[in-house]
Amino acid sequence: MKDNYIGVIDSGMGGLTVVNILRKKYPQENILFFGDTANVPYGDKSPEEIKHLSGRIINFLNKYPLQAIIIACNTIDSNAGKYLKEISNIPIYNIIKPTCIKACQLTKNKRIGIMATTAAVKSNAYKKELLNLDNSLHIFQKDCPKLVPLIESGHFDKDDPLIYEAVKNYLDDLLTKNIDTLILGCTHYPLLTAIFEELAANINIVSSSNEAVQYYSKNNKDNHNKQGEELYWVSANSDMFQDNAQKFLQKPIKVKEITIE
């Protein structure tokens, strides 16, 4: 193991959309990805379960040489973000606030749609943060429980009718609200960028994965003395994860399965 990794945590594949952008911005940083695939999806769980599951990831990662942890999961940030900051020895970077700031900058008609997991929608974290930034906004939330399980089982190609129809059904509802800005409030959804670009071609799409990295990069320069190592750790199903991850990242990677308490 090397040193000073940027930790990226999620329940699964969504974290890779953050790793992908992070790697382009930081060619030489060491990155440690952790995906809690034994417990994915987090989006159907209670706030207490999400706190417990994500808390144990932080306690586990606290033992490793990390310079920062990016919460690459809106569901974790919305239900446990504050708690994780309290228990972590390592600086934590959140995802929801920077995403809201970007959406506020882009909207002209002040009508913003959010697609996210059920637990993230129920928490109202996006709604509260957006209204805090601008209380004249109209916010429309849509929870999309089918998307994460489909993506985790390998359905993320634009030509895959299962995922295409699922996205279309969720999105159609939001598009009737005359939104001009759509927040992809789950890091799994940027795996479906090609579908969103087709179905929501005329509106601003704000990717929470992108905004999480932009926020991190405002505060941190690339460390040019590093080796650019990438570690991929998951808590279950490493073979399937590796296949899907390689398909998305378009490069070979080695995924290690590890058990955490």
Instruction: Spot the catalytic one: 100, 104, 144, 186.
Output: 186
* 8 Å CB contact between 62 and 14: no
190 binds ligand DGL (CB under 6 A): no
Interaction with ligand DGL in 119-178: which residues (CB under 6 A)? 120, 148
**Backbone region of residue 59 per phi and psi (left: phi > 0; alpha: psi in -120 to 50; beta: other values):** alpha
- Nearer to ligand DGL by Cβ, of 150 and 174: the residue is 150
Cα–Cα distance, 238 to 228 (Å, whole number)? 22
40 binds ligand DGL (CB under 6 A): yes
Cβ 62 to ligand DGL, closest distance in Å? 21
Query: Token match 């800005």: residue?
Result: 181
70 is written with which tokens? 């990016």
- Nearer to ligand DGL by Cβ, of 88 and 117: the residue is 117
Give residues with Cβ within 8 angstroms of 218, minimum separation 6.
Answer: none
100 is an active site residue: no
Cβ 182 to ligand DGL, closest distance in Å? 15
- Nearer to ligand DGL by Cβ, of 47 and 229: the residue is 47
* 8 Å CB contact between 117 and 41: yes
Q: Where are the beta strands (DSSP E) in 198-260?
A: 204-207, 230-234, 255-257
Cα–Cα distance, 42 to 218 (Å, whole number)? 28
Q: Which of 131, 127, 187, 191 is nearest to 164 (CA)?
A: 191
Q: Which of 37, 54, 75, 244 binds ligand DGL (CB under 6 A)?
A: 75
Count helices and strands in the chain by DSSP H and E runs: 11, 10
- Nearer to ligand DGL by Cβ, of 96 and 112: the residue is 96
From residue 211 to residue 240, the character string flagging contacts with ligand DGL as x (rule: CB under 6 A) and all else as - is ------------------------------
Cα–Cα distance, 231 to 228 (Å, whole number)? 10
Query: Token match 């955490």: residue?
Result: 260
- Nearer to ligand DGL by Cβ, of 114 and 174: the residue is 114
244 binds ligand DGL (CB under 6 A): no
186 is an active site residue: yes
Cβ 35 to ligand DGL, closest distance in Å? 9
Cβ 65 to ligand DGL, closest distance in Å? 25
Q: Which residues are catalytic?
A: 73, 186
Residues in touch with ligand DGL (CB under 6 A): 10-11, 14, 40-43, 73-75, 117, 120, 148, 186-188
